[in-house]
Amino acid sequence: MHVIDHSKGQPAEAESRNVLVESARIARGKITSLAKLTTADHDAVIFPGGFGAAKNLSTFAVDGKDCKVNREVERVLKDFHKAGKPIGLCCISPVLAAKVLSGAEVTVGHEEEEGGKWPYAGTAGAIKELGAKHCVKDVTEAHVDTKNKVVTTPAFMCETALHHIFDGIGAMVKNVLKLTGK
């Protein structure tokens, strides 16, 4: 959507970036287009969160509950769901499942700001408006929707120490792997 200069917390007006190029930079490895992702080649799928999920994988950052999900992201979520393969989502990305998978249970943490600890608590309301069930969880926890094989954790939806976020993401990954049955 736009590039943010995180040292200033403001958009960098004259800059643009490519999602695939940035993904390769961050992952430091071989990446491919999401269009090539199939359930036949993978046991599970995990979507990280962050502004990319709210601005590039969907229009949630601008449109809230009326958001649209990127066509390939929607396809992947529906394909893995239909195949009964686990889906992991953290931070803001559970809104993707809330929008695409009818009746999914997800968490983005708490439903009240609690003095600024949960600054994005309003997202829980949008999840409910999308027809999903929001489950309150602490940042170190993951919610497992066993029926839909969707595992979510709040991550950076909470203002806390990084090791707590790490613990929650670890719990999400551990539960996704457990649901693969391997």
Which helix or strand (DSSP H or E) is residue 134 part of? strand 133-134
Indicate if 135 belongs to the active site.
no
Task: Give dist(CA 86, CA 80) in Å, integer.
Answer: 7
Q: Is 24 helix (H, G, I), strand (E, B) or coil?
A: helix
The catalytic position among 67, 90, 91, 158 is 91
Nearest Cα to Cα of residue 52 among 81, 83, 27, 85: 27
Nearest Cα to Cα of residue 98 among 120, 65, 73: 65
Task: Give dist(CA 109, CA 112) in Å, integer.
Answer: 9
Instruction: Provide φ and ψ at 156, rounded to 5°.
Output: -75, 10
Active site residues: 91
